[in-house]
Structure formats: structure tokens, C-alpha cells
Amino acid sequence: MLVDTLIDKKGSSILLLDIREQAVFSDYFILCNGDSDRQIRALTEAIIEAAREKAGLRPRGSEGEAESGWVLVDFGSIIIHLFSRDRRDYYNLEELWSEAHVVLRMQ
């Protein structure tokens, strides 16, 4: 559902990682790129709205700002990272969580 929302809003380089064997604080990470601050903001708003409407979920919290090139939305069992390309390269979560199982990868 959340991946579909990111696709609908033209997010790119979507990666869904199963981190259950590596972490106790969450089950999945979703990583996604946005091409501009405006798109990252739209992706963030769409994710929050879709989670509320389709699953009755509200975020536990969020960090970052679209203008910084990184926004994290925490739904507990799913944590979503929305990045600009350069911030995603900088944080390099794919390397940090390289032992996680890749559930889905979309360019």
C-alpha cells in the first residue's frame, strides 16, 4: 500500500528492506528518492494520508524537512526514508543495512 503510494507520486529508487533479523525497533524500511524539495514534501504528505485512510495508521513521529533532503516517517513497524539523491548517497542506508533482506527494489 505505501509502496504503491510512492509509485503513484512518482517516487524513484524505491527499496523495501526487511530488517526484522537486524533490528528490534522496526520490521521494515522503505527508502525512496524525490527529485525536489516539493516532491519530497508531496511524498511525505501522501504517505501519511494513505496510511491513515487505508490502514488507520498515524505516524509515531517524523524527523527532517524536505528542504534538508531527508524526511523520516515512523509508523512503528515500518519506517519510511524519503531522500534527495545526494542525501541518500550521504546516509548510504543500503550499505548500513546490507544484511537486511531486499523485499522489493524499483528503479
CB 83 within 8 A of CB 32: yes
pLDDT at 61: 96
Q: How many angstroms separate the CA atoms of 45 and 41, rounded? A: 6
Helix, strand, coil content of the chain in percent (nearest 5):
35, 35, 30
C-alpha cell at 76: 512503528
C-alpha cell at 57: 495508521
Q: Is the pLDDT of residue 52 over 90?
A: yes
Find all residues with CB under 8 Å of 2, minimum gap 6, and list them.
Answer: 30, 47, 50, 51, 78, 80
**Closest by Cα among 15, 58, 55, 10 to 34:** 10
Whole-number average pLDDT of the chain? 97
Question: Could you give the domains of the chain?
Answer: 2-98 (3.30.460.10)
Q: How many angstroms separate the CA atoms of 101 and 107, rounded? A: 17
pLDDT at 107: 84
pLDDT at 40: 98
This prediction has a pTM of 0.94
